[in-house]
A and B are shown apart, each in its own frame.
Chain A
Amino acid sequence: MLVSALIADGPPNRLIEEAVADRFELVLPTAVVVELERVLHRKFGLDPERRHPGVKTLLDVATDRPPDPASMEAVTGDPDDDLILACAVGAEVDVIATGDRKHLLPVEEYRGVRIITPQALLAELHLQSSS
């Protein structure tokens, strides 16, 4: 979702803006930020030695939670996504917003955490703010 938010305008990008405006609590595991920085370096040529201020914004607004070891299970078929699920359970988040249609979205719900698209989460947030 973070890569999509950077490449184009759309729900992922709007969700980040909502998080910056404190409309919901954003939880980003360290592993996700590390992965984003690798993408920025290897695919978009950013200097890996200097953290971009835009990444600093994500770290400023997000909470980092370590994965719950008891929740580490092979669920999605991708160990990196299993780690995200374990972090989400450990952080007791309500939802995971993701564009990953291969591994995460098909799970739909895991230990009380709903897995939905950024578009669906944005719609829910707008519904909450208008009610």
Chain B
Amino acid sequence: MARILSVSVPDELLDEAEELARAKGKTKSEFARDALVREVRLERFRTLQRYVRGQAEQRGIGPEDAERIVDEIRAEG
């Protein structure tokens, strides 16, 4: 089901968005929807990052451990 979101944006931003949407062959709605989808996806991924980083800090895991961790998981089967 699609619902309608009404958002107010500054004139300048809307003009620029319309221009960019036209250049991409998209409607304003498609352009705005794509931007919203991207932002939601990014925020979901960042939520996972924040969780993993918090856990990594507590467990003393750093970026240099990434390869070892994958090796251990594979060895565990």
A contact residues vs B (CB 8 Å cutoff): 3-8, 10, 13, 16-17, 20-22, 35, 38-40, 42-46, 52-58, 60-61, 78, 80, 99-102
Contact = CB atoms under 8 A, between A and B. Distances in A.
A37 to B, nearest CB: 10
Contact-residue bracket for chain B? 20 to 34
B20 interface: no
Given A8-B53, A100-B67, A78 B74 contact: yes
A4 B63 contact: yes
A5 B72 CA distance: 18
Interface in B42-77: 42, 44-49, 51-53, 55-56, 59, 61-63, 65-67, 69-70, 72-74, 76
Interface of A is mostly: helix
